[in-house]
Amino acid sequence: MLNPDQARDKVEQLVEQARRAGADGADALYLGERSSGVQVRKAELEDVSRSEGEGIGLRVFRGSKSASVSSSDLSDDALSALVERSLAMAGEAPDDPYAGLAPADLLAAPPFAEFDSWDPLEPDPAALKQRALEAEGAALAIKGVTNSSGAGASASGSTVALAISSGFSGAYRATGHSCSATVIAGEGAGMERDYAWHSARHAADLEDSSAIGRRAGERAVARLNPVKIDAGRLPILFDPRVATTLLGHFIGAITGSSVARKSSFLMDKLGGQIFAPGVSIHDDPLRARGLRSRAFDGEGLPVRPMALVDDGILKTWLAESASARQLGISPTGHAIRGVGGAPGAGPSNLYLAAGTASPDALRARFPRCILVTELIGQGVNGVTGDYSRGAAGFLIEHGEMVGPLAEITIASNLIEIFATLEPANDLVFRRGVDSPTLLVPEMTVASA
């Protein structure tokens, strides 16, 4: 894996080589990654892994024609062949009036923001093994836990570099540390499984492995002996670990490509009230040590914290340059990409802002409601917003847990869900996408 300076030099050279060979415009992206991990089960080592890889992608333009080619071979001969192949492919590509590099006058300029994403500590396999063993041991120590599906710990690092023929080049790097545990509670047909995990840019920010393990064990035991519930309309509370899926559906509906194809249930809602007053959704690419922080977007445009929803009103689409041209807007600085293919659009550190009521206060409003802690299946229609998913969680009556629920289905429409949901005050930044507990006052519930 190259360091940022080496990676930036490599993509700059590749873009210059493409221009000399006849490209009207070009951009190149380098991605280098290393990862090490340890898996244990029942206190025995199951797997130790170490991987390193790198790739480079070149996108070239000939008029309104373009092509993208990538390679994991960074030798001079391989990159010369990459340039030749990409230009030949572009010559045969169809015309695309919306294709092109980001506008040169909008490109980011150094110095780029720093967000403290690099941890010089790379733990050795023995330290990773100890972390995994501690997590599993804590989980197995919970009364009622009967088996382990394993625990793991990993450490990773990456370098990203981008160069564009219209005058941009930049690079940054990041690290990651993680720990997880998955265990089984109960016996026979009554067994239940659950998990816990945490990831952080710096090892010092990683949650204690024993706490991760205890949470996995407690969650599994809490799911034992599920109760039955009749079909009907009930309030639903989405636990933070599944509430983020609603944000995922929201993002899918506001990406420029979905809107331009007229395949989004929010396509006519820009500037409209789609959430209740007081609800805000933010994207923060510059959060210190954020899991999705970045110095610039996938087209070299500057990034900044942005309110996607403010006081319930949808403020913007997420658009890379191609979909922005289709929509007649400026790109929003949300381009994302890999080494192959054209950029798409997506958020960085995304979160729904906390509300004012505690989760307990939300539960206490209703004589009966359901706390959903797991979602199953993909029953969401991005065109109509129709929503129907398998779920598991807990039945709550008069604010108190009655018992776990398994094999239920919850259904509604995302337009109605968004318009009525209320966030609790328990937002914690732990992932790349974060949400507090979310209350949806009414959904259809059915038993499987």
Given a contact cutoff of 8 angstroms between Cβ atoms, the answer to whether 197 and 183 are in contact is no
Dihedral pair phi/psi, residue 277, rounded to 5°: -55, 140
Strand spans (E) along 165-240: 168-185, 192-200, 232-238
Summarize pLDDT for 303-327 with one digit per residue, the tens: 999 999 999 999 999 999 999 999 9
What does the pLDDT average to over 28-34?
A: 98
pLDDT in tens, 101-144: 999 999 999 999 999 999 999 999 999 999 999 999 999 999 99
Residue 448: pLDDT above 80? no
Burial letters 43-78, b for 16+ CB under 10 A, else e = eeeeeeeeeeebbbbbbbbbeebbbbbbbeebeeee
Summary mean pLDDT of the chain = 97
pLDDT at 425: 98
Averaged pLDDT, 416-431? 97
Task: Enumerate domains of the chain plus CATH numbers.
Answer: 4-220 (3.30.2290.10), 226-448 (no CATH)
What pLDDT, in 10s, does the model give residues 58-108? 999 999 999 999 999 999 999 999 999 999 999 999 999 999 999 999 999
pLDDT value at 399 more than 90: yes
Confidence at residue 275, expressed as pLDDT on a 0 to 100 scale: 98
pLDDT of residue 378: 87
Helices assigned H by DSSP within 93-124: none
Whole-angstrom distance, CA of residue 385 vs CA of residue 419: 12
Where is 60: in which H helix or E strand? strand 44-62
pLDDT of residue 144: 97
pLDDT digits (tens, 9 = 90+) for 166-216: 999 999 999 999 999 999 999 998 999 999 999 999 999 999 999 999 999
For residues 123 and 48, give the distance between their C-alpha atoms in angstroms, rounded to a whole number.
13
